[in-house]
């Protein structure tokens, strides 16, 4: 079997597609290349719209968006292969997360848009997608799925590590040197901050958190948000745009707040959600490694370091993996697990009834 796998990730932040190609044949993860493609504005707007229930002809729109995503994913894959002079025949499979537009595990379903058959046709490479559905069918949350990969790549036999992915949603993985790996979604990551920056600054995100640092957190607003039931719910748990969205934020606003102060409060909400999750387990961990887009937000990283002063807070870069590609690599690894008939979930994390082989395979 060819040694290369490609992982594709487009997350809740909707900033674009990350494609990573890697080789697992040595028993380690050797990253051979990475490519990022931003979403075309029209596709991004449509995906945001499809996150909300209602609207005209949703089934048709979802189907067309899934095909548009497949074409964008294919462009990322073929661009990556061309840049690094790798033939499609050298790639065992593409692991494609797809774009989440619904996540309702308590109702027994989750929806990640992608036309896997079209992606296989356009690239000439086998595609594994729809990773979350089998875990949900087995009674799990279907998320987070990255802890199994975190264990494989970041686990250490003599140190307790915590890995925090800050995308649209923030999730945490606790990696003790022995015993069960645990993990769950902490709450909002970049999602609310991005939406507020878009609304008031007309920019897709608050670069380096500079706008947030120009304001001051609104203490009472932050207290009320942190009292929301999700933050106190015991794991396993997962969340998404269905819960943390503009309507959720609106219930905490009076309407006369300084927008910069609200942005500072939203940054503090993300930091507190993560820090409380880290401290809640009362673990022996003293190292926290951050990945995802939030790792590039200087103000967020500084605030998290201050909040977790007794921990070493840094990024996965020091472990040899760029923070931007960790999730893409995770889905490449999950594709490998599928082809090798190995489980990809951790029941202690998702709450599933047992370990399961994840994903649907479209052979090239």
Intrachain domains 4-143+325-362 and 146-319 with the same fold: yes
Is the four-CA dihedral 304, 306, 308, 313 of positive or negative sign?
Answer: positive
| Reported confidence tier of residue 2, pLDDT bands at 50, 70, 90 | confident
- Residue 75 per-residue DSSP state: H
Fold for the domain defined by 4-143+325-362: Nucleotidyltransferase; domain 5 (3.30.420)
Q: What is the reported pLDDT for 290?
A: 98
Residue 337, judged by CB atoms within 10 A of its CB (0-12, 13-18, 19+), counts as buried
Cα 146 to chain centroid distance, Å, stands at 8
Query: 186: closest CA among 248, 222, 156, 228?
Result: 228
pLDDT tens-digit series, residues 52-103? 887 789 999 999 999 999 999 999 999 999 999 999 999 999 999 999 999 9
Distance CA 189, CA 336 (A): 28
Residue range 140-160: average pLDDT? Answer: 95
Q: What is the reported pLDDT for 285?
A: 83
Residue 283 has pLDDT above 80, yes or no: no
- Local structure of 298: helix, strand or coil: helix
Q: Two tokens at 293?
A: 């887009």
- The model's pTM: 0.95
Distance CA 193, CA 215 (A): 13
Q: Two tokens at 309?
A: 């002063």
pLDDT tens-digit series, residues 189-222? 999 999 999 999 999 999 999 999 999 999 999 9
CATH class of the domain comprising 146-319: alpha beta
Query: 321: closest CA among 167, 152, 179?
Result: 152
Q: What is the reported pLDDT for 1?
A: 65
Residues 6+ apart with CB under 8 A from 179: none
Residue 26 has pLDDT above 80, yes or no: no
Instruction: For 245-267, give the DSSP string.
Output: SHHHHHTT--S-S-HHHHHHHHH
pLDDT tens-digit series, residues 307-346? 999 999 999 999 999 999 999 999 999 999 999 999 999 9
For residue 315, give Cα distances in angstroms to 163, 226, 300, 326: 9, 25, 12, 11
Instruction: For 140-178, give the DSSP string.
Output: S-----HHHHHHHHH--TT--EEEEEESSEEEEEEE-SS
Domain boundaries, the chain: 4-143+325-362, 146-319
Residues 6+ apart with CB under 8 A from 150: 163, 173, 175, 181, 183, 330
Distance CA 152, CA 308 (A): 25
Residue 245, judged by CB atoms within 10 A of its CB (0-12, 13-18, 19+), counts as middle
- 95-99, 183-187, 279-283, 335-339: least confidently modelled range: 279-283
């Amino acid at each position: 079997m060819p040694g290369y796998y490609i992982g594709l990730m487009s997350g809740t932040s909707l900033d674009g597609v990350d494609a990573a190609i890697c080789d697992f044949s040595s028993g380690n993860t050797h990253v051979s290349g990475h490519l990022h493609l931003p979403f075309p504005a029209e596709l991004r707007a449509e995906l945001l719209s499809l996150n909300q229930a209602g609207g005209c002809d949703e089934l048709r729109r979802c189907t067309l968006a899934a095909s548009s995503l497949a074409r964008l994913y294919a462009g990322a894959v073929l661009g990556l292969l061309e840049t690094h002079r790798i033939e499609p025949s050298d790639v065992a499979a593409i692991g494609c997360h797809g774009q989440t537009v619904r996540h309702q595990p308590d109702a027994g379903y989750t929806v990640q848009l992608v036309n896997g058959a079209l992606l296989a046709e356009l690239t000439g490479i086998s595609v594994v997608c729809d990773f979350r559905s089998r875990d949900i069918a087995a009674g799990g949350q279907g998320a987070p799925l990255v802890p199994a990969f975190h264990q494989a790549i970041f686990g250490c036999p003599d140190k307790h590590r915590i890995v925090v992915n800050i995308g649209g949603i923030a999730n945490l993985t606790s990696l003790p040197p022995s015993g069960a790996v645990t993990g769950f979604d902490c709450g909002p990551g970049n999602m609310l901050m991005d939406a507020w920056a878009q609304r008031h600054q007309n920019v897709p995100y608050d670069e380096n958190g500079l706008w947030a640092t120009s304001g001051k957190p609104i203490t009472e607003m932050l207290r009320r948000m942190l009292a929301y039931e999700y933050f106190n719910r015991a794991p396993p748990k997962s969340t998404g745009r269905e819960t943390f969205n503009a309507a959720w934020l609106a219930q905490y606003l009076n309407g006369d707040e300084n927008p910069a102060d609200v942005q500072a409060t939203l940054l503090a909400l993300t930091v507190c959600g993560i820090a409380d999750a880290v401290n809640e387990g009362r673990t022996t961990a003293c190292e926290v490694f951050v990945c995802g887009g939030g790792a590039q937000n200087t103000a967020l990283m500084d605030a998290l370091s201050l909040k977790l002063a007794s921990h070493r807070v840094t990024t996965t870069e020091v472990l040899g993996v760029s923070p931007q590609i960790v999730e893409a690599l995770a889905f490449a690894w999950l594709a490998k697990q599928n082809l090798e008939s190995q489980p990809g979930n951790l029941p202690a994390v998702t709450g599933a009834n047992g370990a399961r082989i994840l994903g649907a395979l479209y052979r090239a």
